[in-house]
Amino acid sequence: MTKLDLPQEDARKLMLSGVALVVIDVRTPAEFAAGHIPNAVNIELDAIVSGNIPEALADKSAKYLLYCRSGRRSGIAARYLHDHGWEDVVNFGGILDWPYEIER
């Protein structure tokens, strides 16, 4: 684990803590529609790494928790955002390993 990685249990605790944060799912819209973490925002990895940053990621000082299918794409997105000035962005892995609720 790097400083950009967070165990899923810790990510879940943060989501329930009331701390202001945004959960970002970097999978495709079709993957997102098939099932996602409640309250997650879908922003594809390609949009992030192309520099086409949407409003949901506008605040570089906000707390962002990223995930994807397995953790690979969200790791790439977290590294990109961190390297481009986002202050509090972490990858908590993939929905394949998420033991908590999923919205469909």
- Residues annotated as part of the active site: 68
Residue 101 neighbours by CB under 8 Å, 6+ apart: 37, 38
CA 40 vs CA 66, 70, 102: distances in Å: 9, 16, 10
Taking the CA atoms of residue 23, residue 25, residue 29 and residue 30 in that order, the dihedral angle to the nearest 10 degrees is -120
